[in-house]
Structure 1
Amino acid sequence: MPRIYHPEALRPGQTLALPPEGTRHVQVLRLQPGDGLTLFGDPTAGGEWHATILRMGRSSVEVRIDDHAAVEREPARAVHLAVGMPANERMDWLVEKATELGVASIQPLMTERTVLRLQGERADKKQAHWRAVAVSACEQCGGNRIPTIHPVRTLARWLEQLPAGAGPWRGVLSLAAGSQPLAQALPRDAATPVCLVHGPEGGLTPAEDAALRAAGFAPVSLGPRVLRAETAALAALVQALC
């Protein structure tokens, strides 16, 4: 059944018009009155709602809300990625695949070796674009919770704003001597949240790596192979989720 993101409170028997993005999705699929679909994103009920198409217009779709299913498909562990943004479309790919796997949030970072430099309106547009990529991935994979896509930050500013005290376990993919395999370093409790940092193409500089370790990030590795930035992020995410 097609899935449409609709981030508003819903109730059984309610009729409503789909937002423009949902309308286009339904029209592309050539659905007709009487066809069913699933809405998700309700901030109060969570889960997902079954709905039926009542009317198809040239630029509008009206549906009836039928019943609620209290189903969630999120991992037991919340994993937050802070990523030195890879160049070109690779960041889009990273956001899409990380969402499919179940990432809780993504913090795009500008580091010294980051090729993609964003600020102001351009950064805001990219954030909105990546959120749309995450929404589309959730519609496809069955996730009912859109990962948070944070505003672009420099690594230094992000470190300044990190809350002190208790929080997720922290790790940084590092080439520093003594880095422990990620699978061994992760907390044994599968419900403990995790924050993982990795650099862009070329990796983090020694100074950035040291700043992260000084902020409580344990240096970890994924093994002897050299992985692309986006591949490393996803490999680390999978290990943390497992």
Structure 2
Amino acid sequence: MGFSRFYHSGDLGADRQITLSEQAAHHATRVLRLKTDDRVTLFNGQGGEYEATIVQAGKKDVTVKTGAWLDRECESPLNMTLVQAISSGEKMDFTLQKAVELGVAAIQPVISSRSVVRLEGERALKRVQHWQSVVISACEQCGRNRVPLVAPIMSLNHWLEEKVTSTLKLTLSPYAKEGLKEIAAPQGPIVFLVGPEGGFSESEEVSAAVSGFIPVKLGQRVLRTETAALAAISAMQMLWGDF
């Protein structure tokens, strides 16, 4: 994994010429200062990766030629879905970036009663597209060849009504009586729910419990929303995953 990695949304195959996206081309030539004949790695999020070589490096267009396909994966053994109440400013970007680096398989943004940020319509669509680009960049950096999906934004109550099935459903709560180390190792998918800056309301915690979510705490301290999600993922990787 020593070469710079780039995501390509289309089909890939050996011995093909691929034009990188404008964003990837800018990063390749303006940030990484790559040039013709430099070797890179391409992946499309469906597993595995391709060796590739830059054959043309212009200011706006970068073309690469693919070589051999490599069956390389670094996915976590835990199938984790992060259900994150939208946080303000750059906190959400940071949370999603690091969650992907730590191994989450999918992300569901939700709006809860105490969420500061409210997004609807075109603004919501554009924000999800932005978050998906954050996820792709994180995969390029950390070596993952499978790109987690950022689902469309939903209200927390509507999402809970979806009756999501999972082996283990967890919600982080400073009022919980047990921590992750008291939870038995899951034998299937994990869904964990993290609140916004002000936490979940009492009624939301009740709704989560009715939907089968087990409240857990992370120590005796109240963590910020961006800290809580990442601490929980790290703890689960340590207890049940590949840390």
TM-score, structure 1 as length reference: 0.92
Match of 1:41 in 2: 44
Which one of 156, 179, 182 corresponds to residue 181 of structure 1? 179
Equivalent-residue separation in structure 1 for 2:129 and 2:237 (angstroms): 26
Shift of 1:174: 2.1
Secondary structure (helix, strand or coil) at the match of 2:161 reads helix
CA RMSD of aligned residues (A): 1.5
Q: Is the 8 A contact 2:45 2:147 kept in 1?
A: no
Aligned length: 235
Counterparts of 2:91 and 2:18, CA distance in 1: 37
Q: CA deviation at 1:176?
A: 4.1
Conservation of the 8 A alpha-carbon contact between 1:85 and 1:110: yes
Cα contact 1:9–1:42 (8 A) shared by 2: no
Of residues 232-241 and 18-27 in structure 1, the stretch that sits farther from structure 2 once superposed is 18-27
For the 8 Å contact 1:14–1:64, the answer to whether it is kept is yes
Q: Which amino acid is the alignment partner of residue 16 of structure 1?
A: I
| Contact 2:26–2:59, Cα closer than 8 Å, also in 1 | no
Q: Which amino acid aligns with 1:25?
A: H
Q: Which amino acid aligns with 2:96?
A: V
Show structure 2 runs of 5+ residues with no match. 239-243
Q: Distance in 1 between matches of 2:79 and 2:53?
A: 33
| Paired residue type of 2:7 | Y
Corresponding position of 2:217: 221
Give 1:162 shift: 2.9
| Structure 2 residue aligned with 1:9 | 11
Partner residue of 2:206 out of 191, 194, 210: 210
Change in Cα spacing, 1:37 to 1:184, as seen in structure 2 (3 Å) is: same
Amino acid aligned to 2:98: K
In structure 1, distance between residues paired with 2:181 and 2:128: 31
Tell me which stretches of 4 or more aligned residues in structure 1 moved more than 4 Å.
none
Deviations 1:78-106 (A, max 9, x none): 11111112211111110111111111111
Look up the match of 2:83. Answer: 82
TM-score (norm 2): 0.91
Aligned twin of 1:32: 35
Amino acid paired to 1:130: W
User: In structure 1, what is the Cα distance between the partners aligned to 2:170 and 2:146?
Assistant: 24
Report the AA paired with residue 211 of structure 1: S
Q: Residues 201-230 of structure 1: CA distance to partner in whole angstroms, max 9, x if unpaired?
A: 121111100000001111111121111011
**Counterpart Cα distance in 2 of 1:89 and 1:42:** 25
**Which residue number in structure 2 is paired with residue 22 of structure 1?**
24
Offset at residue 169 of structure 1 (A): 1.0
The farther-off stretch of 168-177 and 83-92 is: 168-177
